[in-house]
Chains A and B, each alone.
Chain A
């Protein structure tokens, strides 16, 4: 079984984020790392594709030929990666990104495509369904458990009220929530092996798309205004010396909650 896992490489969320003052794009000039949210998909993929001849193939779109995040996922155990990197992709929106990812995924002929439910930096959360539609595949979003049974994927899908059991024939696109599995830490051996695993770096033209469909032009949307939000003012701070609960009770009375 071939499993494609989409992995996004993002600016370190621990570092302060910023928008470029003129393009309003997220500043992606620093080193990029594997989005934590995608570590779950990678782990899930490795567990599902653990048989003889099974392969986990990573697909990522990132600027500047970035592979740092891919190496992390390769060190976890993925076999190889396809990286789409092209200057014309700067400023891509979710649909443009989905077009690029879908075109690259097609080349890998997967039985299953895994993504996270949403990325940490852009979190539009629409890419999984967009990819599925572009590939003409069924999709199950918000998986909190996944099992493969022959040519069927069975998923426990998070819902408002609880969860649904959902199944679909393969190939299919499944988006996974954090906590679907516990991602492994790359071993030293894994890290060494990752250095020589193949990363196929391709351009927009290589995957049969035109520059106008992607990037800032393809996005057909623009940010017109960016401003700082007025911070909510903090209030009274009480150090509890046995009177904390009583102070809350008075506050609740003032609010007429009790």
Chain B
């Protein structure tokens, strides 16, 4: 028996529902009879068709949140719906910056626990979530034992986004109640870092660099190879922490989970926290000068060599084609 009602916290970007939103709606559709999206922003109604396409029959429109960080108003709007008697069995929330704020705020407001870092969900009378622990070496299944609504915070790329051919979702206004002191954090300026080529979590090819590159300027080789392969450039945490590249490039436990067709790891040792973010890639190539580097244990093709020899030669060969 499927679950009755699941709500998905939907993040809308300038190009429509984000990829994780599409993934969560697709999954929700397969486990629940009724799927609704919770969305915010100045023009949610214009995305009702796209949200419907992935499975939402209803979209609760929180409206524009302006310069307020979304966590407080969105959690407030959801809590108000629930207190008004409209209650889902479960909520699926993206494990993103704002998603985690929404889940944390809502959990405390409703006094309901959360299951986080969810990578799988199954429905068998109730809902069970799957989690990977210890760098992806152990899988655990968990479920809630108390009263709902159940809050699941789900990692990107856990499910496949598949349009279901549904019509436009019905838009229902769900304004955020006054937040008082909690809602006083305001954005005063937004900075967008320049990016060319596909997004890290949507690219079919990802070329990532690590500390083995030796210095920040050598990251240009990674960007050039990514460009030649029409892919995106990624990074290990070591070089993000060192300030060589922005955090948005980080792959791993505390960065992005990626599952491209091809992942090329250059000068990356393959720590469990990095592996957990990329070992779902279809094909993996690793270049590392240490033949015992753990990255080779997941590589389909491992080149034991110096990135300063192999990468320039590879770039040259691709340019000459």
Contacts and interface: CB of A to CB of B under 8 A. Distances in A.
A38 interface: no
Given A126-B107, A161-B248, A169 B184 contact: yes
Given A118-B254, A124-B114, A124-B116, A223 B140 contact: yes
A96 B247 CA distance: 30
A239 B314 CA distance: 15
A16 B134 CA distance: 9
B79 to A, nearest CB: 10
B291 A224 contact: no
Nearest to A124: B116
Interface in B83-107: 95-97, 100-105, 107
A159 to B, nearest CB: 6
B101 A257 contact: no
A138 B182 contact: yes
B172 interface: no
Contacts of B287: 244
B97 A235 contact: no
Interface stretch (A48-56, A82-90, A128-136, A191-199): A128-136
Nearest to B305: A240
Given A126-B107, A137-B181, A257-B229, A248 B143 contact: no
Contacts of B105: 129-130, 132-133
A56 to B, nearest CB: 22
A238 B304 contact: yes
Contacts of A220: 112-113, 144-147
Interface string B176-213: 00001111111111111101000000001100000000
Contacts of B145: 220-222
A179 B241 CA distance: 6
Interface in B31-89: 69, 71-72, 75
Contacts of A127: 104
A245 B313 contact: yes
B141 interface: yes
Contact of A162 (B117, B246, B313): B246
A168 B185 contact: yes
B183 A144 contact: no
Contacts of B317: 245-246, 249
Contact of B97 (A134, A158, A179): A158
A170 B137 CA distance: 42
Contacts of B134: 16-17
A205 interface: no
Contact of A221 (B109, B142, B191): B142
A164 interface: yes
A125 B95 contact: yes
B7 interface: no
A225 B143 CA distance: 10
A219 to B, nearest CB: 6
A94 interface: yes
A114 to B, nearest CB: 15
Interface string B281-321: 00101010001000011111111111001110110111001
Contacts of A249: 314, 317-318
A258 B229 contact: yes
Contacts of B181: 136-138, 169
B185 A224 contact: no
A112 to B, nearest CB: 13
B253 A159 contact: no
B133 interface: yes
B12 interface: no
A234 B109 contact: no
A95 interface: yes
Contact of B299 (A95, A160, A234, A245): A234
Contacts of B141: 223-226
A228 B71 contact: no
B132 interface: yes
A236 interface: yes
Taking each of A117, A168, A221, which has the highest tally of chain B beta carbons within 10 Å of its own beta carbon?
A221
Interface of B: 69, 71-72, 75, 95-97, 100-105, 107-109, 111-117, 128, 132-134, 136-147, 153, 180-193, 195, 204-205, 229, 237, 240-241, 243, 246-248, 253-254, 261-262, 264, 279, 283, 285, 287, 291, 296-306, 309-311, 313-314, 316-318, 321
Interface of A: 16-17, 19, 24, 93-96, 98, 117-118, 123-130, 132-134, 136-142, 144, 157-169, 172, 177-179, 219-229, 231-232, 234-240, 242, 244-249, 251-252, 255, 257-258
Given A130-B104, A160-B97, A244-B313, 13 more contacts: A124-B116, A129-B108, A139-B71, A140-B69, A160-B248, A161-B190, A227-B138, A228-B138, A235-B302, A236-B302, A237-B304, A240-B309, A240-B310
A-B CB proximity, top 9 nearest:
A129-B104, A240-B305, A220-B146, A245-B313, A133-B108, A168-B185, A235-B300, A162-B193, A126-B104
